[in-house]
A and B are shown apart, each in its own frame.
Chain A
Amino acid sequence: DAGVTQSPTHLIKTRGQQVTLRCSPKSGHDTVSWYQQALGQGPQFIFQYYEEEERQRGNFPDRFSGHQFPNYSSELNVNALLLGDSALYLCASSRAEPNYGYTFGSGTRLTVV
């Protein structure tokens, strides 16, 4: 089992562009959460997907959107990139039961120039 896989590992984009990050959950997991980790900070919750719908959302603008596919994989889209969007984006998968532990991916390092 490869665990949670994320792609790409690194990405450089220009301010104003749009980006799509991808995540495949651990086998047996049906819930995907996305986190943003800025340098020197802990991960911050962006949103969570379950049954192809956004179930919860953190304090992030609408420029951040996502999608979950029938195979439970997920995408994070960010529009109109700002310099401040530069961060490590982490995907975590889990099962739907409350308080079930997460398995994290290695993340995608996004740099906006």
Chain B
Amino acid sequence: AQRVTQPEKLLSVFKGAPVELKCNYSYSGSPELFWYVQYSRQRLQLLLRHISRESIKGFTADLNKGETSFHLKKPFAQEEDSAMYYCALIFRGNQFYFGTGTSLTVIP
């Protein structure tokens, strides 16, 4: 069965420090993974998807099939990065399976 695990419910880093939000997945097929972000009082929005290999707001994520991971990274955290982050796996073409989320707080 498909599963997305985000082991950290809460993560705090200082401004300017590197940040890594962990995501591990379990899926028998060829996975497509996403990161969604939810800022305070805003709706859930797409941050990035692995197939596009893009960097959004300084964040990157690399799919590691050997470790079944899709960790989200940013070299220098900013205060505006404080938000809830969800890792998501898509299967059956268009059905998302979300992790439980990590709440990131960037300390000034």
Is A31's CB under 8 angstroms from B95's CB? no
State A104–B101 Cα separation when bound (angstroms): 16
State A35–B101 Cα separation when bound (angstroms): 15
Number of interface residues of B (CB under 8 A): 25
Interface stretch among B41-49, B56-64, B65-73?
A: B41-49
Classify the interface of chain B: helix, strand, loop or mixed: strand
Interface residues of A in 51-94 (CB under 8 A from B): 56, 58, 90, 92, 94
* Known interface pairs A42-B86, A42-B101; A102-B95 also in contact (CB < 8 Å): no
Q: Count CB-based A-B contacts (< 8 Å).
A: 57
Residue of B nearest to A107 (CB): B43
Shortest CB–CB separation between residue A102 and chain B, in angstroms?
Answer: 7
Is A45's CB under 8 angstroms from B100's CB? no
Is A42's CB under 8 angstroms from B94's CB? no
* Known interface pairs A56-B92, A99-B32; A104-B99 also in contact (CB < 8 Å): no
* Known interface pairs A40-B100, A41-B100, A42-B101; A98-B43 also in contact (CB < 8 Å): no
Residue of B nearest to A41 (CB): B100
On B, residues with C-beta under 8 Å from A are: 4, 6, 9, 32, 34, 36, 43-46, 49, 51, 86, 88, 90, 92-101
Is A105's CB under 8 angstroms from B43's CB? yes
* Known interface pairs A42-B100, A43-B86, A44-B98; A101-B46 also in contact (CB < 8 Å): yes
For residue A48, CB closer than 8 A to chain B, the reply is: yes
State A105–B101 Cα separation when bound (angstroms): 18
* Known interface pairs A42-B86, A106-B43, A107-B43; A100-B95 also in contact (CB < 8 Å): no
State A68–B91 Cα separation when bound (angstroms): 22
Residue of B nearest to A4 (CB): B43
Residue of A nearest to B45 (CB): A104
State A31–B96 Cα separation when bound (angstroms): 13
Residue of B nearest to A101 (CB): B46
